[in-house]
Structure 1
Amino acid sequence: MLSNKEAAGRPSSSHARPEAPFPLIRSKSYLTRDVEDKVGIDLAYGKAAADLVNVIREAATSISPIQYIYLQKNDLEKLPPELGLLNSLVHMDVSFNNLDELPGLIFRDLHQLRFFGAQSNQLSRVPEELGFCTDLTQLRLFKNSIDQLAEKLFSTLLHLELLDVALNNLTTLPADLFLCWKLKKLYLSHNRLRALSPAIRNLRQLKHLDLSHNELQTLPKEVGNLENLLVLDVSGNKIHHLPQDVFANMCALQFLDLRRNKLSELPSLSRLESLSTLHVDDNPIEVLTPSLGELEKLETLTLDVGTSSRLQSPPKEICRQGLKAIQARLRSRQ
């Protein structure tokens, strides 16, 4: 039997954060050629307890350039500046340690670095010198204590395609972030963001935007310019109003999560012709927008139809019959 919140469709599973694109190396030695015949250093899962500095220095003088280094889960509190000697690195992962800072000197010569991961540490800031890594395409800083991103950090990271700064303490975003026009995935959930800049319109390649669990009260209408967006999650905010045309050009959007906000009404959804999943439960919605009846590809709709729901139109007894009944009723009233 469907619960009240599932009366118009069962919610889909949550969107999992994508895994890192490169496999972790597992070997008994420190040097290995297991990744596309390129040399990497495997010091993950406790192996950095060895003489890390000497291992790095030896690797820096190796005939074959070191392109991958893995330092996850080592209880590291500091990173040795000698990491900067590995100037052929394309992939560095220092996640799941106890780092409270990143020495800026490390990044000054890492011009080929494409992936940097430092999630699940204790970082409060990110050095501006990371901007020297101009080939960077993925930056993963999930689950730290970062309260501010350097204003000029992103002005040179114009190849960035994925940024994950979820589960931090951010209240604002630097203006230069919106220069990263190649961004495809932007994870900002579980911060303290109070507003989103209209400059979001510049990120027209975005496919996945997660703003859930912040302190947003609305979205700028410029969000509607993200015509390539597939997933938009703004659940768990304080949104009480959305511009009527906020979704005007989102013809590709497939997943929209608005639940756990303060919306009493929804804006027009008529342009969301690709939408298959819509979550609007845990909002004080009184009337469903007639445009919801036009969404031919919609498969999942979640909304409140219990006794505490404020929904008046369509009547709750219609809504309890499911999505098709809701859409038929809305179309008949147009």
Structure 2
Amino acid sequence: MMREEMRMVELKRYVEEEDQRLDIVDLSGMSLDSLPKPCLNLTAICKLNLSNNNLQNVNVNVHVQSIPESLTARLLNVVALDVHSNQLKFLPNSIGCLSKLKTLNVSGNLLRSLPKTIENCRSLEELNANFNILTKLPESIGFDLIYMKKLSVNSNKLVFLPQSITHLTYLRLLDARLNCLRALPDDLQNLINLQVLNVSQNFQYLQNLPYSIGLLVSLVELDVSYNKITALPHSIGCMKKLQKLSVEGNLLVSPPAEVFEQGLHAVKEYLGGKMNSPQKKRSWVGKLVKYGTLNGNMMRGGSGHGERQGFIISMDGLASPRYTGMFSPRRFFSPGRYSTR
């Protein structure tokens, strides 16, 4: 009995020591312009906070860095890295060694681009790169960072989002407001878990929305306000879960202002009617076939959640609630003009 108790004590001590080996290091707000030579085991760090300092890249040409390549490469167990609110112009390429990294905050710096090696951070779930001067994102970011759930790149100078972003099937939030976006990627319907999409305040640059924006099945909130959009895609009439639509600050002609004044239900009904018109019906069916949203099972429509969440297009035909079962729950969603609920 004594021997068994000793074994349990030893096991408990081992577990406690193992937990202590993974440390949280907080060096935020210490006015650091460079990092001190490490006096601890870098491989033991699980969370490292270097935010609100004066870290900067001294000489890009000779790669003198306040975050050395050698340091980043040794953070093998880090799951959260925060370097927001510094003066970094680039990130070390060795950031690609952080295979366990889940959360990365690089907001509030002077980054013009992200290193291509970031694509090797395949456990990454949240990336915050707000308030930089990014002009582009790595082209294949969506092919490699497949577990990404939150992508925030607002307040940059992005002209386009890479097409590969449409492969981020776990993505729940995409915030790309306050950029210079000219267009959004096609095939947005692949973002089957996206709940919040904000592409507002791209001002005179963003003039059109892709048809596939109305095929985002999980979207709850859509903000396309303060752009130069004149018409919303008719596919918005099929957005079953959409609860908030913000499109103020545009030059919308369709739907007209009087429809928006009646709320989101009226917007969906109006666009559904346009989609269901004889001129549009054939092309609409073609879109559904192309995106694989038609199936052979007919079900009763209606969500039972009232106007806000129900499938509220009221006219007979393809878009009627009677036929909502024809739309696979892997596609649907879109925007509006005034903020409507």
Q: TM-score, normalised by structure 2?
A: 0.69
**Stretches of 4+ aligned residues off by more than 3 angstroms:** 64-67
Distance 1:133 1:102, change over 3 A: same
Identity, in percent, stands at 32
Residue 24 of structure 2 aligns with which residue? 91
State the 1:248 CA deviation: 3.0
Unaligned runs of 5+ in 1: 1-36, 39-63, 68-87
Give the aligned CA root-mean-square deviation in angstroms. Answer: 2.3
CA distance in 2, matches of 1:269, 1:107: 51
State the 1:108 CA deviation: 7.8
Matched, 1:296 2:237: no
Spell out the pairing of 1:1-334 with structure 2 (5 A cutoff).
Answer: 67=20, 88=21, 90-103=23-36, 105-106=37-38, 109-124=41-56, 125-128=66-69, 129-151=71-93, 153-201=94-142, 202-245=144-187, 247-261=188-202, 262-267=205-210, 268-304=212-248, 309-334=250-275
State the 1:320 CA deviation: 2.2
CA distance in 2, matches of 1:280, 1:198: 24
Q: TM-score, normalised by structure 1?
A: 0.71
Is the Cα contact below 8 Å between 2:78 and 2:98 reproduced in 1? yes
Is the Cα contact below 8 Å between 1:134 and 1:158 reproduced in 2? yes
CA distance in 2, matches of 1:273, 1:221: 19
Unaligned runs of 5+ in 2: 1-12, 57-65, 276-341
Higher helix share: 2
Query: Considering only CA atoms, is the larger Rg found in Structure 1 or Structure 2?
Result: 2
State the 1:107 CA deviation: 7.3
Is the Cα contact below 8 Å between 2:215 and 2:238 reproduced in 1? no
State the 1:199 CA deviation: 1.6
Is the Cα contact below 8 Å between 2:166 and 2:185 reproduced in 1? no
Distance 1:155 1:304, change over 3 A: closer
Is the Cα contact below 8 Å between 2:140 and 2:162 reproduced in 1? no
Residue 7 of structure 1 aligns with which residue? none
Cα offsets for 1:146-187 (capped at 9, x unmatched): 111112x22321000000001110001111111111000100
CA distance in 2, matches of 1:253, 1:243: 14
**Secondary structure in 2 matching 1:292:** helix
**Secondary structure in 2 matching 1:278:** strand
Is the Cα contact below 8 Å between 1:108 and 1:132 reproduced in 2? no
Is the Cα contact below 8 Å between 2:195 and 2:220 reproduced in 1? yes
- Greater shift, 264-273 or 136-145, is seen at 264-273
